[in-house]
Structure 1
Amino acid sequence: MIRNYLKIAFRNLWKNKTYLFINLIGLSVAFGVSILLFLSAYLLLTYDNFHEQNGAVYRVYHKVNSPQGEEYGNSMPLPMRGAMKAEYPEVKLAVRVMSGAAQIQKNDKLINQGIIFTDPDYLQVFGYKLLKGNPQTALNDLSSVILREDIAKNIFGEQDPIGKTLNISHGDKEVPYVVSGIIEKGPENTSIQNEMLVRIETAGEFADNKDRWDADQHALYVKLDDQTNPATFEKRLKAFTAKYYKSNIEQLKKEGAKADAQGDVMSTRIIGLSESHFDSRIGNQAISKVYPYTLLIVGVIILLIAAINFINLSIAKSFTRAKEVGMRKALGAFKGQIVGQFWGEAFLICIAAFGLGLFLSYALLPHYNAIFRSSLSLNLLQTPSLLLSIFVCFALVTLVAGGYPAWAVTRFNTVEVLKGKVKVSGSSGGIRNTLIIFQFTMSVLLIACTLIVWTQINYLRSKPLGFNTTQVYSIPIGHEVSGKRLLKHFRNRLANQPRILSMTGSDVNLGRGLDGSFSKSVLGFEQNGKSLKTNMRTADYDYTKTLDLKLLQGREFSEAYATDTAYSVIINEAMAKQLGVKNPLGVILNTEEKHKVIGVVQDFHFESLHRQIEAVSFFMNGFSINYIFVKIAPDHVDETIALLKKTYAELAPKSEFQGSFLDENINKQYQREERLSKIFFSAATLAIILSCLGLFAIAIMVISQRTKEIGVRKVLGASVFSITALLSADFLKMVGVAILIASPIAWWIMDKWLTDFAYRTSIEWWVFVVTALLAVGIAIVTISFQAIKAALTNPTSSLRSE
C-alpha cells in the first residue's frame, strides 16, 4: 500500500510540474536563507556563554546617580580586586582584564598583536583551555606569556614554543617574556580576547596606580561560590562602596544628587558576562538584543511566506483532484488515508526543499559572511539545541503547510464531487485571501524598514561632524618608533611638500581605522565644589588647524609658548558649559597637574552619532602619540598617499602601514547599521519574490476558473483593459489592505530603533508612499501578465473549452 501511495504521489507531483517547481524553489530558498539567519541569531544570543560552562561569570560595574542623570562605569581601579577578595569570602575568583596593543619581533618584521594584562585566575574564570603548559602555574611568573595557538604557530611554526623567549614591545618599552603556555583560540562570539596573556603587574601604568581608587583602568570579573545569590551579593556591596568611595558619595550629595530606588547615590553592581554584551551602558561592544531577534523574526517571516505559498497552491490544486478524492471515498477510503496521501506528497516536497535549502545555505555561506562581515560556519548545526530548533521549525512547516490542505480535501462532499459540482468554498477563499494579505503585509513591512534604515544611514554619513573628514589621512604609529619621535621625523621629512598642508598627532583615532583600535579616557576632578568629568585626549601642535576645528576663543598649542607642553589645555564648548564661567580662558583646572585653559573649540562629534557630544579636553602631556593626522591637498591624492607610505616605511621599516581617511574611519562606526540595512534589503527582496511567486500561481488558478466569464464578457464587447482591471482588482484590494496594516507597524518598530541614536532622522511620509507604490507596482506586474493573457484569448476558444 505504501508503495502504491508513493507511486501516486510522484505521479501527481510530476503531473503538476509548475506548482511543484514553484513550491520547491520557494521552500528551498526560504529554508536556506532562514538557516543562515537562525545561525547568525544563535551566534549573537549565545555571546560569551562559552565562558559560563563551569559557573556564572559576573562583570563588576558602577552606577552613579549624578545631578545630570544616571551614569555607568565599567572600568575599575587596580586595588579593587584585592579588597573584594579579602572582604567577601563568597568571591571564589576575581580577575582583572586590561587590553592593549603590542608588537612582536619576527625576523626583520614587527607583528602588531593584541595583548591582555591580567591575573593568574584568568584560566579558571574564563572557558579557554590550555593546550600546552600547566593551567595552575602558567601565569605565576611576571615574565611569563601565554600565546594563542594561531599566534604561536605564526611565530614559531612547527617548533615547540614552550620555554622560548619572546621580545614583546608594549607602551614605550620592550620586555623579554618566556612562553609558558599555549591557549586555544575559542569561538568567535566572545568579548574576552586571548591573543597574548601577561601579568597585569607588567603594564606600564601599574606601579603608579596600584593603590589608587580614583584611576579606573580595567574590567573586573568575578566568580561567586555556588551558594551565593547574585542579587544578595550585590546588596552586600553597598558597604563596600560606602567604605572605598566615601568622598565620591559626599561630593555627589553636595552637588544635589538624589538616591535611586535602592537608596544609593553611587553603587557597585554586578551583571552576568553574557548579559553585559546586550547592555550598552556596560559592555564596550554591546549590541541591542533587537538585532538578533530581528534576524530570527526575518527568518520566520521568510519561512511563513514560503509556507503560505505552499498552503495556497496546495488548496488550489486540491480542487482539480476533487474527483479523485470523491472516488476514493466512494470506494471506502478512510479520512486518515486521504489525509495521509496528501500530507505524504507535501512531506516529499518539504524534505526535498529542506535538502536543497541546506545545500543552498552551504553555497551562500562565503558570500553571506563577506556581505554581513560575520564568521558563520555550518558546524554550528552540530549544536544539539540548535539542531533541535531547526528540526522543530521544519516539522511545523511540514505539518501546517501540508496538513491543512490535506485536511481541507477530506471535507469535500462525495456526491457533489462525483457530479462535478465542487467549487471553492467561501471559507477557503477567505483563508486564501487572508494568507495573501499576510504575505504582502510582511513584504511591505520589510520594504518600509529598509527605506527607514537607509535614510538613517544616509543621515549619519551626511551630517556635518564639525571637523574635516575628507582631506585628513590617519596613520596608526605602531610600536617600532615612539609616537612623538615619528611625528617629528614626519614633519622634518615632509616640511617642504606643497601637498602636505598640515600635520598633528593624537593618542586616539577619530572613528575606527584599519587597526580596529578604539579607546576612551575620562578624567574626573573637582572644580569650585563641583565634580566634573571630561574626555581626555592628547593633541599635538596644529591639531585644530589640521582637523579644521573652529576656534571660538583663545589660541591653539604653539611652539612659541614653552609651557603649552606641560600646563595648557584646550577645551570644547560642552566642557566650557560645565565650568560655568562666561569666559573660560585662563581658568586653572584642578587636575593632578594644574592646567590653564588657553582655547575653546566649537563642539564637534569626536564619537559616533549614537552619543550626545560630551565634554572633551586636549592636553599635550596626556597619553603617548599613537596616531598621526595629515591634512593633504585635494589634488594628486594617490601620489600624496604613496609619499606617506614611503616615508613611513623608511622610518618604521618593520611595521605595517595602516593609513586611512577619516571619512572611511567614520563610516566604520556604523557597520552594525549597514549590516541591518543589508539584511532588511535582502529579506524584503526575497519576501517580495516569494510573495509574487505565490500570487502569480494563485492568479493562474483563479483566472483559469473564470475562463467562461472572460469569454462571455469579450463577446458582449468588454475591452482588454476592462477585463484586465476586473481580474486584477481583487488582488490589488488585498495589497492595499496589507499596506494599511504594515505602515503603522513599520513606523512604530523603526521609531523604537531610532531611539538608539542621539542624532536621528525623522520618519518621513514619503517613505510609506514609496513603499505603497513599490508594493502595488510589483503586484500589478505579477498579476497583469496572466490577466492580459486571459483577456487576449479568443472568446470562441474560451467558450468551447468550457
Structure 2
Amino acid sequence: MFKNYVKIALRSLQKNKVYTLLNVTGLALSMACCILIFLVVQYHLSFDNFHPQRERIYRFVTEQHRDQISYVATVPLAFGQAFRNDYSFSEKVARIVTFDKELVSVVSGHEVRKFKEAAGVAFVEPEYFDIFNFPLLQGNKADMLSAPNTAVITESLALKYFGTVNADGKMLRINNKIDCRITGILKDLPANSDHHAGIFVSWASMKSYNEFFAASDSWGGMSSPLQCFTRLRPGVTVAEVEKVLPAYVTRYRPKSKNVHHYKLQPLSQVHFEARYGGAMEKRNLWVLSMIGVFLLVTACVNFVNLATAQALSRSREIGIRKALGSLRGQLFWQFIAETGLIALVAMLLAIIIATGMLPVINNWFHTKIVLSFMHDWMLWAFIPLLTLLVTFLSGSWPGLILSGFKPVTALKGKLSASHSSFAPRRTLIVLQFSVSLVLIIAMIVITRQIKYASHSDLGFDKDAVVMIGMGSNFYDNSKAQTLRKELAALPGVKNVSMCYAAPAAPQIWNTTVKFDTRSEEEIFKVSVKSADESFAPTFGLQLLAGRNMFAADSNNQALINETMLRRLQLSSPEEAIGRQITYDVNKVMIVGVVKDFYDRSFHEAISSVMITNQADQYTDYAVKINMKNLVKVVPELEKKWSDMYPEQLFEYQFLDESIAEFYDTESTMLKFIMTCSFIAIFIGCLGLYGLVSYMVAQKTKEIGIRKVLGSSISGILWIFGKEFAQLILIAFLLAAPLAWWLMHTWLQDFKYHIQLGPAIFALSIVIIAAVAVITVGYQSLRAALMNPVTSLKAD
C-alpha cells in the first residue's frame, strides 16, 4: 500500500511541476532557517555544560549599591583567599585574571617571533583546573602551576609556537616582562566555553607581572579582569553562602558608601546574564526560536494555500478514485505521502542551504558551529522530527479537504467555494501577512535605532581618529612624549593625544571621589579618564567654563562634565572652577567644565566624568588625521611607532569602528531579521500566488461576463485589488499592536532611543502592499486581458 502511495505521489508531483517547485522552495527556505536557528540555540545552550558537577560551580559577583545599583562580574582581590580560609562551604576556590591581547614572544636562538593573542593570557590559581574540566595532554595537574614563571598552553598554540605538541620545558616571554617555562599542554578548549585563554600562567608569577593584582590582601578596588570561581560541597545551598557574605562588607569596608552585595552566580547563567557581561541573553534565543516558528508556519500556510488552490484541478481525479472504491482514509494518506515526498526533498535542499549559509551565520554571531551528523545526536533527532512536523502541518488540512469531496459533485466539476475553504484560506493569508509585517517593523526599528546611535552627535569628534596602543610595559614619560611629537609632526596628522582610552570606550575606570571640603565621599561613581592637554582639542570637546588643562608633569588638574556638575549639586559651571577633587591618593583641581558627551553606548546613561592628567595611566595615542592622506599616514605611523617600540607589535583601530562594536549584538540580530524578513516575504508571495490563482479560476466566467457588459480593465483589476487590500488591512491591524509591544520592550534596553512613530508603521504597510501588488499583478492583469469568449467557454 505504501509503495502505491509513493508511486501515485510521484506521478502527481511530476505532472504539477510548478506546484511542486513552489512548495519545495518555500519549505526548503523555512526549514533551512529552522536548522540554522536550532544550531545557534543549541550551541549557546551548551556553553560550559561539559564540566563535572557543573550544577555546583558558581562565580562570585558583586552588586554595588550607590545612588543606583550596578553589577560587576568580579569581587575584591582579597575575597577569594579570604573565603577559602574563612569558610568550609567550598571544595575548591580559584581566582583567574585574564589580560587581553597580550604580547607573546618565542625566542629561538637570535630569532624572536611575536604574537598577539586575542583570547589573552590568564593567570590562574592551581585549583582552577580542579573546578573546570580542561583535559591535559601532557603534564601533571597536581604541580604544573605551583611554581612561579610556569605556564600551560593549548595544543594548537604549541603547534603554532613550536611546531609540535611536545613543548614541555620550552620557554615563552609574556609581554616582555616575564619568561615562563611550559609545564603542561592542554587539549584545545571547546568553542562552547566562556573561558577562551590559551595560555595559563601560575598565580605565583603575578607578583613580578602586575603589582595591583598581586595585592591579594586588598579590599579596595575591583577590576573586571579578575574573576573568582568556586565549587560548593554537596548539599551546600546558595542561600547558606550568601547569608555569611555581608560580613565581609562590615569587616573590611565599614566606612564605604559603596555597599557591596556579594552574590553567587550559577555557571549555567554566566553565558546569559547581560548585566554581568554575558555574551548572549536567553531572550535573544527565544526571539530566534520564535522567528523560526513563524517562518515554518508561514511556509506550511503557503503549502496549504497552494494545495487548496489546486483542489479544483484534482476534483475529477478524487471523484474517479472514490467511485472506484477508494476510502477517505486511503485518499488522505495518499495526499500525506505526496506532502511527505515534498517535505523530504525540501529537507535535503534545506540541509544543503544550511550548510552553505553556516559560515555566514558563524561570522555574524561570532560562533564556531559545525553541522555534523556524525557527532550530534540532537541534530539527528531534530531533522526527521522537523520533516514529519512539516508533513503533517502542511498536508493534514488539504488532505482532509480533498478526501472529503463527494464523488458526484467532483465528477460534474461543480465544486463551490465552500468546498475548497476559501474563507479559511483568507485567514491563512492574513496570518502570513501579519508575520511578515511584524518582521518588517522589527527590521525598520532596529535599523533606525542603530543608525540613530551611530550617526547622532556624541558630543565629541569620532571621525578620522586612530587609536594606537602604547608600546611600553610601563609608562615612560620621556619616550612617550618623544613619540608623540614625532607622530604630530607627520604630514596629514592634525593632533595627537596620550590618554587612557577614547571619550567613549569599553575600558572604564570607576572610582569614588571626595569633593573639596566635604567630609564624606560622594555617593555616585566617577568615570576617570586620564589624558593630556591635547585630549579636548583632539576630540573636539566643548568647554563651558574655565580652561583646558596645561601641560604638566604631575596630575594636578581636572576637567569635569555637566553630569558630574549636577551630581555635585553645583548651580553653575563657574562654581566648580578652582575646587578640589580627591580620589584614591590623588588630589586635583577643577580647571574647566566640558559639555556632556556620550562616554558609553546608548544602552547606558552618561556617566559623571572627570578628565585628569594622570600620566602613569596612559595606554593609548589618539591620532587625529586628515582622511585624504590615510593611505600614506598609517604606514608612517607604524614606522615611527615600531622604531620607538621594536620589541612590540603595532596595532591600531579607528575610533568610529570601535564605537560601532557597542552595537554588535543589535547589528547581528538586524542581519538575521532582515534575512528572515525577505524569506518570509518571499514565501508569502508564493501564498499570494496560490490565492490569486484560485480567484482567477473561480472568477473566469464572471470576468468574461463583466467584460461583455462593458467593464474596464481597471474595474476588473479592482476585483482582485480590493480583496487583497482588505486582507492587508486586517493583517496590519493584527500585527501593529504586537510589533509595537515587541519593539517598545526592545527599545527599553537603550537609555537613548528613537520613538515608535506612525511613519514606521506606515512604511511597513507600504512595503507589504507593494509586494502584494507585484505578486498578484501579473495574474490579475492576465485575467483582465483575457478574451471574454475564452473566459465564457472555460469549464
Of 188, 193, 198 in structure 2, the residue corresponding to residue 195 of structure 1 is 198
Q: Give runs of aligned pairs for residues 147-546 of structure 1, distance below 5 A.
A: 147-158=153-164, 160-169=166-175, 174-203=177-206, 204-206=210-212, 209-217=215-223, 218-248=226-256, 251=257, 266-283=260-277, 285-371=278-364, 373-379=366-372, 382-425=375-418, 428-478=421-471, 484=477, 487-497=480-490, 499-509=492-502, 518-526=506-514, 528-532=519-523, 533-546=525-538
Which residue type is aligned with residue 20 of structure 2?
L
8 Å Cα contact 1:588/1:594 also seen in 2: no
Name the CA distance, whole Å, in 1 between partners of 2:17 and 2:774: 23
Per-residue displacement from partner, 1:582-601 (whole Å, max 9, x unpaired)? 52333333333231223333
**Aligned with 1:378: secondary structure?**
coil
In structure 2, the CA distance between the partners of 1:739 and 1:483, relative to structure 1 (3 Å rule), is farther
8 Å Cα contact 1:142/1:202 also seen in 2: yes
Which residue type is aligned with residue 195 of structure 2?
I
In structure 2, the CA distance between the partners of 1:440 and 1:540, relative to structure 1 (3 Å rule), is same
**Residue matched to 1:49:** 49
Name the CA distance, whole Å, in 1 between partners of 2:304 and 2:145: 62
Of 576, 581, 585 in structure 1, the residue corresponding to residue 565 of structure 2 is 576
1:157 Cα deviation after fit: 0.9
**Aligned with 1:49: secondary structure?**
coil
8 Å Cα contact 2:461/2:540 also seen in 1: yes
**Residue matched to 1:93:** 92
Q: Give runs of aligned pairs for residues 559-708 of structure 1, distance below 5 A.
A: 559=551, 561-562=552-553, 565-581=554-570, 583-599=575-591, 600-621=593-614, 623-653=616-646, 655-708=648-701
8 Å Cα contact 1:27/1:350 also seen in 2: yes
Per-residue displacement from partner, 1:611-641 (whole Å, max 9, x unpaired)? 1111223343365432111122354232222
8 Å Cα contact 1:39/1:376 also seen in 2: yes
**Residue matched to 2:136:** 130
Per-residue displacement from partner, 1:560-602 (whole Å, max 9, x unpaired)? x44xx24433333333333344523333333332312233332
**Aligned with 1:670: secondary structure?**
helix
Name the CA distance, whole Å, in 1 between partners of 2:722 and 2:663: 43
Per-residue displacement from partner, 1:717-765 (whole Å, max 9, x unpaired)? 1111111111232122112211111112111111111111111111121
In structure 2, the CA distance between the partners of 1:675 and 1:268, relative to structure 1 (3 Å rule), is same
In structure 2, the CA distance between the partners of 1:6 and 1:637, relative to structure 1 (3 Å rule), is closer
**Aligned with 2:544: secondary structure?**
strand
Which residue type is aligned with residue 218 of structure 2?
R
Q: TM-score, normalised by structure 1?
A: 0.91
**Residue matched to 1:33:** 33
In structure 2, the CA distance between the partners of 1:800 and 1:408, relative to structure 1 (3 Å rule), is closer
Name the CA distance, whole Å, in 1 between partners of 2:123 and 2:365: 31
In structure 2, the CA distance between the partners of 1:614 and 1:117, relative to structure 1 (3 Å rule), is same
1:551 Cα deviation after fit: 2.7
1:387 Cα deviation after fit: 4.2
Name the CA distance, whole Å, in 2 between partners of 1:447 and 1:417: 42
8 Å Cα contact 2:555/2:614 also seen in 1: yes
Any gaps of 5 or more consecutive residues in structure 2? none
Q: Number of residue pairs matched?
A: 775
Which residue type is aligned with residue 86 of structure 2?
E
In structure 2, the CA distance between the partners of 1:91 and 1:524, relative to structure 1 (3 Å rule), is farther
1:80 Cα deviation after fit: 0.8
1:495 Cα deviation after fit: 4.8
**Residue matched to 1:258:** none
Identity between Structure 1 and Structure 2 (%): 30
**Aligned with 2:417: secondary structure?**
coil
1:278 Cα deviation after fit: 2.7
Name the CA distance, whole Å, in 1 between partners of 2:388 and 2:87: 51
Name the CA distance, whole Å, in 1 between partners of 2:406 and 2:243: 70
1:282 Cα deviation after fit: 1.9
Name the CA distance, whole Å, in 2 between partners of 1:494 and 1:666: 24
**Aligned with 2:201: secondary structure?**
strand
Name the CA distance, whole Å, in 1 between partners of 2:435 and 2:374: 28
Which residue type is aligned with residue 190 of structure 2?
P
8 Å Cα contact 1:483/1:626 also seen in 2: no
8 Å Cα contact 1:571/1:597 also seen in 2: no
1:509 Cα deviation after fit: 4.5
Per-residue displacement from partner, 1:206-251 (whole Å, max 9, x unpaired)? 5763211112132212111221222343234344444344333xx4
Per-residue displacement from partner, 1:186-222 (whole Å, max 9, x unpaired)? 3334322222111334331257632111121322121
Name the CA distance, whole Å, in 1 between partners of 2:555 and 2:373: 55
**Residue matched to 2:22:** 22
**Aligned with 1:192: secondary structure?**
coil
Which residue type is aligned with residue 507 of structure 2?
S
In terms of mean alpha carbon deviation, does 774-783 or 481-490 score higher? 481-490
1:24 Cα deviation after fit: 0.7
8 Å Cα contact 1:46/1:274 also seen in 2: no
Name the CA distance, whole Å, in 2 between partners of 1:200 and 1:694: 63
**Aligned with 1:246: secondary structure?**
coil
**Residue matched to 1:260:** none
2:703 is the counterpart of 1:710: yes
Which residue type is aligned with residue 499 of structure 2?
S
Name the CA distance, whole Å, in 2 between partners of 1:484 and 1:407: 83
**Residue matched to 2:61:** 61
8 Å Cα contact 1:19/1:697 also seen in 2: no
1:137 Cα deviation after fit: 2.2
Which residue type is aligned with residue 57 of structure 1?
I
In structure 2, the CA distance between the partners of 1:52 and 1:432, relative to structure 1 (3 Å rule), is farther
**Residue matched to 2:542:** 550
RMSD over aligned Cα atoms: 2.5
1:280 Cα deviation after fit: 2.7
Name the CA distance, whole Å, in 2 between partners of 1:221 and 1:80: 11
**Residue matched to 2:147:** 141
In structure 2, the CA distance between the partners of 1:110 and 1:511, relative to structure 1 (3 Å rule), is farther
1:95 Cα deviation after fit: 1.6
Name the CA distance, whole Å, in 1 between partners of 2:62 and 2:746: 26
Name the CA distance, whole Å, in 2 between partners of 1:460 and 1:558: 33
Name the CA distance, whole Å, in 1 between partners of 2:598 and 2:412: 77
**Aligned with 2:276: secondary structure?**
coil
**Residue matched to 2:114:** 110
**Aligned with 1:376: secondary structure?**
coil
Which residue type is aligned with residue 80 of structure 2?
R
8 Å Cα contact 2:74/2:227 also seen in 1: yes
Which residue type is aligned with residue 618 of structure 2?
I
In terms of mean alpha carbon deviation, does 57-66 or 739-748 score higher? 57-66
**Aligned with 1:379: secondary structure?**
coil
**Aligned with 1:120: secondary structure?**
coil
Name the CA distance, whole Å, in 1 between partners of 2:660 and 2:537: 23
1:654 Cα deviation after fit: 5.0
Of 763, 770, 776 in structure 2, the residue corresponding to residue 770 of structure 1 is 763
Which residue type is aligned with residue 126 of structure 1?
F
**Residue matched to 1:261:** none
Name the CA distance, whole Å, in 1 between partners of 2:625 and 2:130: 51
Which residue type is aligned with residue 175 of structure 1?
I
Name the CA distance, whole Å, in 2 between partners of 1:268 and 1:769: 49
In structure 2, the CA distance between the partners of 1:708 and 1:279, relative to structure 1 (3 Å rule), is same
8 Å Cα contact 2:460/2:503 also seen in 1: no
Any gaps of 5 or more consecutive residues in structure 1? 253-264, 513-517
In terms of mean alpha carbon deviation, does 192-201 or 137-146 score higher? 192-201
8 Å Cα contact 1:481/1:652 also seen in 2: no
In structure 2, the CA distance between the partners of 1:377 and 1:731, relative to structure 1 (3 Å rule), is same
Of 716, 719, 722 in structure 1, the residue corresponding to residue 715 of structure 2 is 722
In terms of mean alpha carbon deviation, does 524-533 or 120-129 score higher? 524-533
